[in-house]
Amino acid sequence: MEYPLRHAESTSTEIGPLVEFCAAHRRLFVLTGAGVSTASGIPDYRDADGEWKQRQPVDYRDFVSSPATRQRYWARSLVGWRRFVRAHPNAAHYALSELEQMGRIAHLITQNVDDLHRRAGHRRVVDLHGRLAGVLCLECGSRFARASVQMQLVLRNPHYQHLSAPDAPDGDAHLEQRDFSDFDVPGCAACGGVLKPDVVFFGENVPGERVSEAYAALTRADAMLVIGSSLMVFSGYRFVRRAVEQGKRVAAINLGRTRADELLSLKVSAPCIPVLRELRAALE
Ligand SMILES: [Zn+2]
C-alpha cells in the first residue's frame, strides 16, 4: 500500500522539532498508551521492542466461553484492583490536561483503561478500550460500578482479601500456581448473567460507535501525536494509517520502537514526562 506522505523518520531526544510541530498544528489529535501511565505504577504490556513482557492478557473468547477463565480473571482482579484504584495521575497526565486547557489539544483518545486522564482534569477523552471502573452484563447489558462488584467479590471470597501479588496490566494481579476452582464469581444483579469488566479484551473489537467517534475527531484534526504507545495493537495503529491517508503528519513520543515508525514525520525517543513538561513550558 502506498501512502501519500512518507517522510524520512527523524528520531531524536531533542524536543525543538516537536515544539514546532505542535505550534504549527493547532488542532492536535492525541493518542496515548500505556507509557503515559507507567509512572503511576500501572504496568506496561510490552518492552522496547514491542514484545510481550509477561504472559499475554486474558483473551475475550476464553473469558466468554470458560467459567474457569472467569474464575481466574476475577480472582486476580480482586487482588489487583486494590492497588489499581489507588493509582494517581502523574505529571504526564497533568501536562496533557494543561495543554488541553491552553487550546493545544483538540482531541485525546487513550488506549488506557485507568481513567487517569480524566482524573487529571482532562475534559475531552475517548476511552478506546473502555474503563476498568465499569462492569458490564453480557446478557442484559446492565452496567455496574466496579467498586460495588468488588464488594461482592470480597464478600463471596473473603480468603482472597488479604492476598497480594505483583500487579498485571488489566488491573489484575499475577496470582499464579493457584487453584481458582473454589472462587465464587458473582453474576449480574439484574439477571444473573455473566459479568465482564467494561474494557476491550484482547481478541475483542472496539465498539463501532467509539471507533467512528475517534475517526471523526481525527478528520477534524490538523495532525496527530502518539504518546507512550508502541501501536502494536491494531486498534491504535489504524489511526496513524488513517491520518497518513488523509495527508496529516504524525509525531510520536515513545521510548523504543513503534509499529508505525516508518509512517512518522517525527519521533522523540524519550520518556513522556520530561518531554511533555518541556513541551508545555515551550508552548505557554
Ligand atoms: Zn444482566
Helix (H) or strand (E) holding 12: strand 11-12
Task: Give the pLDDT score at 55.
Answer: 58
- State the CB neighbour count (10 A cutoff) for residue 147: 11
C-alpha to C-alpha distance for 55 and 72, rounded to whole angstroms: 14
Q: Residue 9 above 90 pLDDT?
A: no
Q: Residue 177 above 80 pLDDT?
A: no
Helix axes 208-220, 234-245, angle to 10 degrees: 30
C-alpha to C-alpha distance for 40 and 89, rounded to whole angstroms: 6
39, HSE (Cβ side, Cα atoms, 13 Å): 13
Helix (H) or strand (E) holding 154: helix 146-156
Confidence of residue 10 (pLDDT cuts 50, 70, 90): very low
C-alpha to C-alpha distance for 138 and 210, rounded to whole angstroms: 18
For the chain, first and last CA: distance in Å? 40
Q: Residue 263 above 90 pLDDT?
A: yes
Q: How many whole angstroms from 140 Cα to the centroid of ligand 1?
A: 4
Q: How many whole angstroms from 144 Cα to the centroid of ligand 1?
A: 10
Q: How many whole angstroms from 157 Cα to the centroid of ligand 1?
A: 21
Task: Give the pLDDT score at 6.
Answer: 39
Q: How many whole angstroms from 107 Cα to the centroid of ligand 1?
A: 33
Q: How many whole angstroms from 130 Cα to the centroid of ligand 1?
A: 19
Task: Give every CB contact of residue 141 below 8 A, 6+ residues apart in sequence.
Answer: none
Task: Give the pLDDT score at 60.
Answer: 92
| Vertex 199 angle, CA 30 and 125, to 5° | 30
Cell of 138: 453480557
Task: Give the pLDDT score at 161.
Answer: 78
C-alpha to C-alpha distance for 258 and 264, rounded to whole angstroms: 10
pLDDT digits (tens, 9 = 90+) for 17-45: 999 999 999 999 999 999 999 899 887 65
Nearest to 60 by CA among 247, 167, 199, 183: 199
What average pLDDT does the segment 223-234 reach?
92
Q: How many whole angstroms from 58 Cα to the centroid of ligand 1?
A: 22
Backbone torsions φ then ψ of 139, nearest 5 degrees: -90, -60
Q: How many whole angstroms from 188 Cα to the centroid of ligand 1?
A: 5
List C-alpha distances in Å: 82 to 17, 34, 148, 175. 41, 19, 13, 14
Q: Which residues have their alpha-adjacent CB atom under 5 A from ion ligand 1?
A: 137, 139-140, 142, 188, 190-191, 193
Q: How many whole angstroms from 163 Cα to the centroid of ligand 1?
A: 29
Q: How many whole angstroms from 127 Cα to the centroid of ligand 1?
A: 23
Examine the residue annotation and report whether 25 is marked as an active-site residue of this protein: no
What average pLDDT does the segment 190-197 reach?
96
Q: Residue 170 above 80 pLDDT?
A: no
Q: Residue 266 above 70 pLDDT?
A: yes
Q: Which of 25, 93, 107, 129 is catalytic?
A: 129
List C-alpha distances in Å: 121 to 40, 75, 171, 280. 16, 32, 22, 15
